[in-house]
Amino acid sequence: MTIRTSIILLLLFIMKTTLVFLGIWASFNALPFDAASFQANFIYPFGDLPSLKSAFIAWDSRWYLFIAEQGYRMIQSTAFPPLYPFFIRLLSPVLGSIGAGFLISNLCFFGAIVLLFECVRQKWDVKTAWLTVLLIFAFPTSFFFSLIYTESLFLLLLMVFFYGLQCNRKSWILISSFLLPLCRIVGLGILAPLAVYCIRERRPSSALLLLSPVLGLFVTLVITGSFFQDWLILFSAQDFWMSRFSLENVLQLFQWLQSQFLLAKLVFHGPGNSFVDRVVFLFLLGTIFAIYRHQPLEYFLFALCLGIVPAFLGNLMSYSRYIIVVFPFFIQFALWCREQKGLRAYLFFLFLFVQVNFIMRYAINYWAS
């Protein structure tokens, strides 16, 4: 990557982050805050009142800060793996928990974008790389990369992993595949592309890499389980959340279709009945076949395991946020947009329009994903 490209990426990143923060600030000051929703949900710090600070650390952000400062003191909190709160706690003596969270998220986001650009440039070309990055910047829920959420750290680990596969750097693969389940449990889904890599290597020693994400899951279960002497509490804690991920859901496909589409009373964007989430899911479900045809097998398996399968394990709640780390979808959009300027303009306009709406909703404590 050239110095000029790095500088442009840095400037785009700074502009993106600045606009997100300005959007939250302006929305909080200009629009009525949903105090009822704020009081009805988990509040941390305890007893906190609606303020500009609460506009920036809404929803899951409060849980990550709680875990970083208090540990897993509530059963519900064990649904959140420990890596991101651990890094917040590590830096909090210097920056405070909130400052540490924002710094970690934004540094990880920039690092992830740099590696993503380089991966796509090596596989395809510079034009596709730029389009991929710009589409991620524009996507409606990409503002979560700038906030105290795991998306940035998770995407960075994913890009380290796939860059390691691409450049045959086993140390990168080993470390990232171990840390991914410690960041989000669905990180275990990289076992599929990792298995393809090991088969292509044709070395028995490479198969040992498959143990790395399994070990990461084991460490996650030990850490979360040690607080309540229940080593599977991370899974049982899912019952406290609307998403309720479970392997049993895969065996009840008809009931899943009924609850998510046929019987759902949809609104534009709500916690469990979002029209936006369902449109995104259907669109990406159709995209997965194009990924199979036009992208490496490892990318297809990753998109399938982390972009499609998890939806059937739970429901479509927050789906439009979860998939912002599934970069093969954005690569596919970029491949389509390379020669179709009309599609390119339409997608960017649509994505940015919805993102502005979501930022406003997040700032005043409406559901934003």
- Residue 113 sits at the vertex; the CA angle it makes with 112 and 116, to the nearest 5 degrees, is 85
Residue 89: exposed, middle, or buried by beta-carbon count in 10 A (0-12, 13-18, 19+)?
middle
Q: At what angle do helices 327-337 and 151-167 cross, to 10 degrees?
A: 70
- Residue 339 burial (CB < 10 Å; 0-12/13-18/19+)? exposed
Q: What is the pLDDT of residue 245?
A: 67
Task: Tell me the C-alpha distance between 250 and 127, whole Å.
Answer: 39
- Euclidean distance between CA atoms 7 and 225, whole angstroms: 44
- Residue 42, classed as helix, strand or coil, is coil
DSSP secondary structure letters along 114-129 = HHHHHHHHHHS-HHHH
Predicted local distance difference test score (pLDDT) of residue 243:
67
Write the DSSP string, 247-315. GGGGG-HHHHHIIIIIS---BSS-SS-BHHHHHHHHHHHHHHHHHHHHS-HHHHHHHIIIIIHHHHHS-
DSSP type of residue 369 = -
Give the pLDDT confidence score for residue 318 in this predicted structure.
92
> Scanning the structure block, which residue is given the tokens 């990461």?
216
Q: Return the pLDDT at 274.
A: 93
Nearest to 318 by CA among 354, 367, 284: 367
| pTM (predicted TM-score) | 0.96
Please give the single-letter amino acid code of residue 140.
Answer: P
- Per the CB < 8 A criterion, the answer to whether 115 and 159 are in contact is yes
Per-residue model confidence (pLDDT) at position 237: 83
Q: Widest CA span of the chain, in angstroms?
A: 61
Beta strand extents in the chain (DSSP E only): none
Burial class (CB in 10 A: 0-12, 13-18, 19+), 40: exposed
Whole-Å CA distances, 285 to 52, 117, 160, 288, 355: 38, 24, 26, 6, 21
Per-residue pLDDT of the chain (369 residues; tens, 9 = 90+): 788 999 999 999 999 999 999 999 999 999 999 999 899 899 998 988 899 999 999 999 999 999 999 999 999 999 999 999 999 999 999 999 999 999 999 999 999 999 999 999 999 999 999 999 999 999 999 999 999 999 999 999 999 999 999 999 999 999 999 999 999 999 999 999 999 999 998 887 778 899 999 999 999 999 999 998 888 888 888 777 766 666 666 677 788 888 888 888 889 988 888 999 999 999 999 999 999 999 999 999 999 999 999 888 888 999 999 999 999 999 999 999 988 888 888 999 999 999 999 999 999 999 988
Q: Which two tokens stand for residue 346?
A: 């339409």
